[in-house]
């Protein structure tokens, strides 16, 4: 398979490229300097020249809080750039893969969110990703993959933040009233690869599996695996006072994805241990 990956150099793209190359795929990796995904004409011409079988849109706006004060930037990358790529894919017959987010949901559910459940994003970032999902449909054949609480090599993320703070402080104040599942970029990249290989299209959920956890619980596991001495003190979301509202419950139902790829997704604790053991 010939893959084109945008946003090369980013956290998810790094894992996607490693998995694809390990599988023996032919890969075209394009960083922002090589392709401005917000330039529709440039995207159309580059896709036509490269003729990939599938495009994985790793280029994305991910600064959740910043999006509240700069919504245009979020919509430009997560909605408009997705539409440009989807239309270009439609013209060459390529599958368009759009990684999306648990933040398209409002967090009021009492059971894991299924792919067909109604969306109701509570912040600008979530709305931009939902609009990007709608834009992806213009590809004709699109694969939307929602994930949650992403971390991995090559980017800023919660695991590294907790690791750094645990070395500097005796006590870490971490939110305990938001529930979800952490996801290692390697796990997500492998799941995307498997979905592509079986020809899946539509919307799928792909986080790591296992028992859902709060951010405070996630932090405790990071501290434990790092062998740090810091204590995690649970706090409420209201105490943190972040600009963007987060869903209180963003656990994704993985049953459809596991059925299609024919295997369970890895437990988040096992993935975290592998990441920390490194190097990645």
Report residue 167: phi and psi, to 5°. -85, -15
Say how many C-beta atoms besides its own lie within 10 A of residue 26's C-beta. 12
Half-sphere exposure of 187 (CA within 13 A, CB side): 31
What are the distances in angstroms from CA 106 to CA 37, 122, 176, 218, 247? 29, 6, 17, 21, 5
Query: Do the Cβ atoms of 159 and 151 come closer than 8 Å?
Result: yes
Instruction: Quote the strand ranges of the chain, DSSP E.
Output: 2-6, 26-30, 54-57, 95-101, 142-147, 150-151, 171-175, 179-180, 183-184, 202-205, 213-214, 231-235
- Looking at 75, 103, 113, 125, which residue is catalytic? 125
- Residue 125: active-site member: yes
Residues designated as active site: 125
């Amino acid at each position: 398979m010939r893959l084109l990956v945008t946003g090369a150099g980013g956290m998810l793209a790094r894992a996607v490229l490693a998995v694809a190359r390990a599988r023996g795929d032919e890969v075209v990796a394009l960083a922002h300097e090589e392709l401005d995904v917000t330039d529709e004409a440039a995207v159309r011409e580059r896709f036509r020249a490269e003729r990939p079988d599938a495009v994985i849109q790793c280029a994305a706006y991910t600064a959740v809080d910043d999006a509240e004060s700069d919504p245009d930037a979020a919509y430009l990358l997560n909605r408009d750039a997705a539409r440009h790529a989807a239309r270009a894919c439609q013209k060459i017959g390529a599958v368009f893969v759009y990684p999306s987010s648990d933040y398209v949901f409002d967090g009021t559910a009492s059971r894991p969110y299924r792919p067909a459940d109604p969306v109701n994003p509570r912040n600008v970032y979530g709305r931009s990703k939902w609009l990007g999902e709608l834009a992806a449909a213009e590809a004709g054949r699109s694969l939307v993959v929602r994930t949650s609480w992403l971390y991995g090599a090559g980017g800023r993320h919660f695991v590294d933040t907790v690791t750094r703070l645990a070395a500097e402080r005796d006590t870490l104040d971490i939110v305990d009233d938001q529930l979800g599942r952490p996801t290692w970029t390697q796990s997500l990249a492998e799941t995307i690869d498997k979905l592509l290989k079986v020809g899946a299209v539509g919307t799928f959920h792909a986080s790591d599996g296992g028992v859902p956890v709060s951010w405070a619980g996630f932090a405790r596991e990071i501290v434990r695996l790092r062998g740090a001495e810091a204590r995690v003190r649970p706090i409420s979301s209201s105490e943190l006072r972040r600009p963007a509202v987060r869903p209180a419950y963003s656990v994704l139902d993985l049953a459809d994805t596991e059925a299609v790829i024919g295997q369970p997704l890895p437990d988040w604790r096992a993935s975290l241990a592998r990441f920390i053991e490194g190097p990645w």
